[in-house]
Amino acid sequence: MRNSLAVGSILAMSLVSTVSFAARPSQETLEFCGGISKLANSVMTSRQNGVAMSKLMQAKSSDEATNDLGALMIEQAYDSPAYGSPEYKEKAATDFENSWFSNCLKARSAAKS
C-alpha cells in the first residue's frame, strides 16, 4: 500500500510539472481589463434597468477606439434578454462583466504572443 502511494505521488508530481500554466497577467493588464469589465457591468445594468439603447450609444469618449468598443459592448448587451427580478438582473450584469474581463485577458495575452 505504501509503495503504491509513493508511485502515485511521483506520477502526480511528474504530471503537474509537465502541465503548462498560464502566466499571471500584469498589473497593467488587470487594471485595463478591470476598467473594461466595469464598463461592461454598467452597460448591462443600464440595459437591465430599461435604459434606451439609443441613449447609451450617444455617450462619447475622446478616444475613437473606446467609442467603437463601447458600441460593440452595447450591441451585445441589448442582444441579451432583460430580466424582471433583481437577482437575475444582477446575475446578467455580473456574467457580462466576467465575460468581457475574460475576453480582455485572452486578447491581451494573444497580443503578447
Question: Hunting for cell 503578447 — which residue is that?
Answer: 112
Alpha carbon dihedral 100, 105, 110, 113, in 10-degree steps, equals: 170
pLDDT value at 87 more than 80: yes
The pLDDT of residue 63:
86
Domain boundaries, the chain: 24-112
Q: How many CA atoms lie within 13 A of 41 on its CB side?
A: 13
Q: How many whole angstroms separate alpha carbon 58 and alpha carbon 64?
A: 13
The pTM of this model reads 0.78
pLDDT value at 12 more than 50: no
Enumerate residues 6+ apart whose C-beta is below 8 A from 33. 25, 100, 101, 104, 105, 108
